[in-house]
A and B are shown apart, each in its own frame.
Chain A
């Protein structure tokens, strides 16, 4: 099983809403990532979790709140977002103990903030 799953696939929310994006992997990977990708731009790293602990926060605004409840799950809680936060949100995971730390990406959640 080399699959990273993400739900929902699409999400439309207002600026006052609270929503959560979910990511799951069962590959035994101990590093999980959130990326944001705008149209025709490369993915930009937001957060990295290593062994369920937040390792990297790329100066992301507090309206994005990550959570890693266990080694298989990664959530991104959204609150009071802005229209410019509309993007494709990608989750990825990698096996941190190996030299070749390939990141496996999920299909993404396409978010539209109105």
Chain B
């Protein structure tokens, strides 16, 4: 089977740092994606990890541990526009299927 877990909601303060966790169980793993989705809009790509470790891209960083089935997305210097849902998605081997988690709704307050 396959399962992706992430918190439903998080709240953080403007200028702060927030970490959104994602755990997954899947048969066949070929990478993990993080997407940002504002209400009523399409998801936009943030990061991709296939090897263990930390990938940094500006204010956003993503970490992967394949042995633990665990990833996190780290957002620094939070801005109000970062209020959105953040989707963790796992790419399975043997094709193009990507399984999305339910998403974490992040609320950034002043």
**Cα distance A32–B85 when bound, in Å?**
23
Interface residue A81 (Cβ < 8 Å from any Cβ of B): no
The residue from A56, A102, A103, A110 contacting B95, defined by CB atoms under 8 A apart: A56
Pick the most buried of B42, B43, B91: most chain A CB atoms within 10 A of its CB: B42
Cα separation A50 to B97 with both chains bound (whole Å): 12
Distance between Cα atoms of A68 and B47 in the complex (Å): 28
Contact code string B67-110 (vs A, CB < 8 Å = 1, else 0): 00000000000000000000101010001111011110000000
The count of residues in chain A whose C-beta lies closer than 8 Å to any C-beta of chain B is 26
Main DSSP-derived SS at the B contact region: loop
Asked if B60 is at the interface (CB within 8 A of a chain A CB), the reply is no
At the interface, yes or no: B24 with Cβ under 8 Å from chain A? no
Closest chain-A Cβ to B49's Cβ sits at a distance in Å of 10
- Please tell me which one of the listed residues B44, B91, B95, B101 contacts residue A105 in the complex, with CB atoms under 8 A apart: B44
The smallest beta-carbon distance between A76 and chain B, in angstroms, is 15
Known: A90-B43, A100-B31. 6 other contacts (CB 8 A): A42-B100, A44-B100, A48-B96, A100-B50, A101-B31, A110-B40
Chain B: how many interface residues by the 8 Å CB criterion? 21
A44: B residues at CB distance < 8 A: 100
CA distance A31 to B98 in the complex (A): 13
A103 engages B44 (CB within 8 Å):
no
